[in-house]
Amino acid sequence: MGKAVLAEEVLLNYLTALAKGSVGFIPGLIVGQTINENDYVLHLIRTPLHETQTKDSAPVKVGSLSKMSDLQESWVAEHAKCVTRMLPGGISVLGIFVIGPDDILIDTAGQNKFRSTVVQIHKKLTADKFLFGNGTSSEKIVLQFARNSLRYSCKSFNVENASSNLKPVEWRFTSQPTRWHQLKCHFNLDSVGSIQFSPDNLKQSLQSQFDKVVQAVADNLEISIFTINSHMRAESTPLSNLEGNDSDVFSTKLADSKTGSGKRKIANILSTHIVDFYQDCNKVCNIRPYSRCKSLELKCSGVLESHIYVHEKGTVGDGIKILKEDILRSLFSRLEMHYETLIEEEAAATPTDGTVLHEPPRRVMISLANSDINFYDYLFPGEGVSEIHQSLQEFLDLKVDATLINKNFEGKAGNSLDSDERLAEFALQGAKTVQGFSFPTLRIASLIVALAILLISIIVQLYSRQ
b/e map 344-362, b = 16+ CB within 10 Å: eebeeeebeeebeebbbbb
Residue 254's pLDDT band (cuts 50, 70, 90): very low
Which one-letter amino acid corresponds to residue 252? T
Decide if pLDDT at 77 tops 60: yes
Residue 301's pLDDT band (cuts 50, 70, 90): confident
What percentage of the chain reaches a pLDDT higher than 90? 41
pLDDT tens for each residue of 108-163: 888 899 999 999 999 999 999 999 999 888 999 999 999 999 999 999 999 998 78
Q: What is the pLDDT of residue 211?
A: 85
Mean pLDDT of 262-277: 73
pLDDT tens for each residue of 356-378: 676 788 899 998 877 888 999 99
So where are the chain's domains?
4-174, 180-435
Which one-letter amino acid corresponds to residue 216? A
Decide if pLDDT at 44 tops 70: yes
Q: What is the pLDDT of residue 162?
A: 76
CA angle, 80 then 82 then 87, to 5°:
85
Q: What is the pLDDT of residue 426?
A: 37
Q: What is the pLDDT of residue 421?
A: 38
Q: 6-20, 223-237, 243-257: lowest mean pLDDT where?
A: 243-257
Rounded distance, CA 162 to CA 138, Å?
12
Q: What is the pLDDT of residue 453?
A: 59
Residue 430's pLDDT band (cuts 50, 70, 90): very low
CA angle, 338 then 398 then 334, to 5°:
15
Residue 227's pLDDT band (cuts 50, 70, 90): very high
Q: 169-178, 215-224, 334-343: lowest mean pLDDT where?
A: 334-343
Q: What is the pLDDT of residue 131?
A: 95
Best CA proximity match to 199, nearest among 358, 426, 360, 352: 352
Q: What is the pLDDT of residue 201?
A: 53
Mean pLDDT of 298-307: 84
CATH of domain 4-174: 3.40.140.10
Mean pLDDT of the chain: 78
Could you tell me if 294 and 435 are in contact, meaning their C-beta atoms sit under 8 angstroms apart?
yes
Q: What is the pLDDT of residue 460?
A: 54
The whole model's pTM is what?
0.79
Decide if pLDDT at 428 tops 70: no
Residue 282's pLDDT band (cuts 50, 70, 90): low
Mean pLDDT of 11-19: 93
Residue 345's pLDDT band (cuts 50, 70, 90): low
Q: What is the pLDDT of residue 245?
A: 57
Residue 259's pLDDT band (cuts 50, 70, 90): very low
Decide if pLDDT at 285 tops 60: no
Mean pLDDT of 234-242: 92
Q: 225-239, 265-279, 384-398: lowest mean pLDDT where?
A: 265-279
CB atoms within 10 A of CB 316: 24
Decide if pLDDT at 293 tops 50: no
Q: What is the pLDDT of residue 110?
A: 85
Q: What is the pLDDT of residue 415?
A: 42
Mean pLDDT of 413-425: 40
Mean pLDDT of 418-427: 37
Which one-letter amino acid corresponds to residue 406? N
